[in-house]
Each structure stands twice: as C-alpha cells, then as structure tokens.
Amino acid sequence: MNSFSPIFFVFFGLVATALFHFDIYFPIWMSVATMIAVSLYFINKYRQNTIGLLMLLLWLVYALPFIHIIPYLWFDFTQTDPLRLWGLAVNDYMMDKVVIELTAMLGAVGAVGVALGISLNANPIQKDSGKNPDGSRRTVRTMSFPLWLIWVLVGVMLSWMVAPEDTLFTAAYTMSVSRLDGAGFSSAWMVSYVILGFAFCDSLFEENRSLKTRIILVALVVVVGFFQILRGDRESIPFVFALTLVYFYWASGITQRRDFRVPFLKIGLVIFGLLAVSALLGALRHSLVGASILEIGGLVREMNKEGDFGGDALLSGTWSATLLTPLSVAGDHIYGLLELKLGKNYIDFILSIPPGFIADAFGYVRPLDLDRGPAWEMRFGIGGTHAVVVPFMNFRMLGVFLIPAIWSFAIAKYEKFALRSVNVISLSLLVTIAMAAPHWLWYGEKAGFNAIVLWIIFSFFYRISIGANRPKKMIGGGAPFNNEGPLNAQP
C-alpha cells in the first residue's frame, strides 16, 4: 500500500489537471469525499508513525476553510439569496454552483498534493529518547544565563513595540496604533516569536532549568496576555500551541525525562482553550471600550443570547474569510478574468525578502508590501490568500497539485530529521513553522518565506551565542553534546 499510494496520488493529480483544462470540474460531493479520504489517510499515517504532529497541524490549517463547502451538498442553488453564508455577507460567487465546484476542486486537488508529499516519506519516525547509548541522560550546550536573558528581553521588547498602544478597554480594536506604525517593520511580531521560541527551547535543555523556566513563562504571559489578548490581537495563539507541542511531544524525551506517549487529552484541552479564547476575543474586541473587567461576563451572556457564540458562530472565523480567496480565483477563472502569472508571484516573494525599513533606506520598492501583492488581486477577501491561490494564479491546477506536494514532502522529512536528535536549533524551526502555519496557509506564502528567513538569521546568532560557552558534561557520564551532536564524534 505504501508503494502504491504515491502512484495513485500522481495519477489522481494528473487526471484532475487534464479534466480542468477541458473545463470539467469535480462535483461537490467528490471534492468533499476526497478531502475526507485524505484526512483519514493522514490519521492512518500518524498511527503508522510515519508523520508527526506538525504535519497533522498543517493539514488541519490547510483544510479548515473548506469546512464551508460541506453544506453545499444539500444546498439549493435556486433558492432566494440568503443574506449570509459562511458567517459572511453573501456575494454572487457563493451562489454560483460551477464556481463552488471549482473552489472545492482546488481544495481537493491541493489536498491530494499534500498527501503525495507525505506518502513519499514512508520510513517511521525514530523519536529521540533524550538518552545516550549507555542509558545516561544527555544535555546540549545552551546559552549562558546573561545572554539568554538578553534574548528574552529583546523578544518581549519587540512585542511591546508592535502591540497597539491602547487596550480594548480604552480604544476600539484597529483604532489604536503601535509604536512601530510607519516604521516599515510589519514582521516585528514574528521576529519576537522566533526569538522567544529559541529562548524557550534553550530553557528546556538547561540542566537546572527552574530559573530560566520561570522567567520565560512570565515573559510569555506578558506577551500573550498583556501585549496580545488585552489589545485584541490573536497572532500569539499559534505560537502558544507550538510551544505546547514542543513540551509535550517534540521534546518529550527531554522534558518528561522518560518515554512518553502523546498526551492528546492535554493537547486537546489546550486547543479547546485557545479556540475559546480566540472566539471570545473575536466577539468582544469591538465591544469593550469604556467597560470594566467586571462587565465582561454580562457582555458575554448578552452576546450568547443573540447567537454570537452558537454553533454557526463557532464554525466561522478567520478561515471563513480565507475561503473567499479560492472562491475569488475560481470565479475569475471561469469568467475569464484571471491572469496567468507563470511564476511571477514566486519571484516577487524572493525580491520582497528585505524588510520594509531596509528597502526604504535604499529606495528599493518591494513587489510585495502592505498595499501590494496577491491579496490585493482578490475579488472577495479580507486580506491574505489560501495556500492554493498563488499556485493556481501562476500554474493553474498543476501548480495546485505539485506545490503542496513539494512543501509537504520537505516539512514531513524535516520533522523526522529533527525528532531523531532533538536540539535547540532543530526544535526552534519546528516551533517557527507551527507558529507561522496559519499566517502562511491563510495569509500567503510571504509569511512562510519570512518565517524561514528569520529562523535562518537567528539560528546563526544562536550559534554565536553558545559559541563562547564551554561544553557541558554529561549527567552521569558519557559524551557531551552541542546543538549538532556529540562533541567528540568522529566525522
């Protein structure tokens, strides 16, 4: 079955591409069935231990927007236009059956591409136990406390600078500006999380990590609670979840000090808590100006009576607006309004890597900026593009199939590599990918490019930061380790 799967997925992708070029689209039920089948395939691959939780997370983020396609299985396209669908105001494309068929087909073909990528990684995961061959616990070289504290302070300071100056109780969300507004440094929040991700992973490998643990937890509470949630921002939610995966899964051999099964109950509770906070924050962040903390309970009860926290409300979110972007390119293609880019967007991603403040200093105009890019070409949307949009804009259905296959293959392979011998640098890349996943898969590839570039930069600085430290001795004997492997290992 393992050897047959890639052949089947390639055949499926090529047939779908050929059908598309003859303007034949999957019926809605077939696209929905395909995505369900891919979901079951992912679960099976996880049970076989051939993929890890990072790929499950990426699949969930990729697929979630298409949850709104399911009700179209029994939707009457001839009925009077409803006022709202997907929790959003209705547009003409939402009511066009052919457009919905192509939108669903984009999700399904991209899903098969993702499945192809993981099917090419058939070897099981060998998870690091945190032990040496002789059974002794091993450690890795970490930053000295003063240097580590500087990293934490820089990360917190950046979060402070990028946070809106007013809280939700003093100004409506989006009405308050940050200290970095107009500075050309829109990715400062991501820089902050990459830095704090390194600091968090470093603290896990400290022999006596209690002091670093207390400090990093306080720093995270300040960043997430005070600089994010209290100001109505939710960018930190994927970051918190990424750190949860580090502690309970990716680095469990180090943090739990024993062989450890994945605590799905604990991770599930974290997911539920984060979703609840996200939904509550999204509902309240325009309603708290002038209110006191004691009045929040009354506001929640009132909004619940109005249906703002009902089942339909919980199924709608940022992902709903994200689905508008595949809808936009599907409809524009059908009506002959979509230009074929032939790779131009990907070249623009590379040309737009320099931060805005550096580009401004040299008079360089980036092809992609806050007011330029694929998101601005969407007929419908509220910013960003789903992961199938840019491949479709540039290479049509073949791109929708092949590009997800490429990134899923690379990430699945790297997760296996990182789990085989965990260290600060490899774990920090897993954190970075998980933290950036919604921004990359829902807001556009530029966020993914930025995250990887930032990780490369700070992994270089991290190596410098630990370079002056003397190698740590193995607890109980054995070969000392750095962030690459045994220091006395033979080449």
pLDDT digits (tens, 9 = 90+) for 255-282: 765 555 665 666 666 666 656 665 565 5
Both 109 and 155 in a single domain?
A: no
445: in domain: yes
Both 174 and 272 in a single domain?
A: yes
Both 225 and 287 in a single domain?
A: yes
Both 25 and 152 in a single domain?
A: no
Both 159 and 246 in a single domain?
A: yes
Both 228 and 167 in a single domain?
A: yes
Q: How many CB atoms lie within 10 A of CB 290?
A: 8
Both 337 and 391 in a single domain?
A: yes
355: in domain: yes
pTM, entire model? 0.85
304: in domain: yes
246: in domain: yes
135: in domain: no
- Range of the structural domain that residue 8 is part of: 4-126+322-409
**Upper half-sphere CA count for residue 25 (Cβ side, 13 Å):** 23
Give me the phi and psi of 10, to 5 degrees please: -65, -45
Nearest-angstrom CA–CA distance, 385 and 367: 16
Nearest-angstrom CA–CA distance, 443 and 437: 9
What is the tally of structural domains in the chain? Answer: 2
pLDDT digits (tens, 9 = 90+) for 51-100: 988 999 999 999 999 999 999 999 988 876 788 888 888 899 999 999 99
**Upper half-sphere CA count for residue 138 (Cβ side, 13 Å):** 25
Write down the number of H helices and E strands in the chain: 18, 2
Instruction: Flag whether pLDDT at 199 surpasses 90.
Output: yes
88 - beta bridge partners? Answer: 85
CB 71 within 8 A of CB 33: no
Both 185 and 56 in a single domain?
A: no
Confidence of residue 480 (pLDDT cuts 50, 70, 90): very low
Both 290 and 173 in a single domain?
A: yes
Q: 12: which 2 tokens? A: 């499926």
CA 182 vs CA 226, 356, 371: distances in Å:
23, 10, 13
Look at residues 409, 439, 456 and tell me which one is the last residue of a structural domain: 409
Both 246 and 170 in a single domain?
A: yes
Both 359 and 397 in a single domain?
A: yes
136: in domain: no
Both 292 and 344 in a single domain?
A: no
Instruction: Flag whether pLDDT at 50 surpasses 70.
Output: yes
Q: What is the mean pLDDT of residues 368-381?
A: 84
Instruction: Flag whether pLDDT at 218 surpasses 80.
Output: yes
478: in domain: no
236: in domain: yes
Instruction: Flag whether pLDDT at 482 surpasses 80.
Output: no
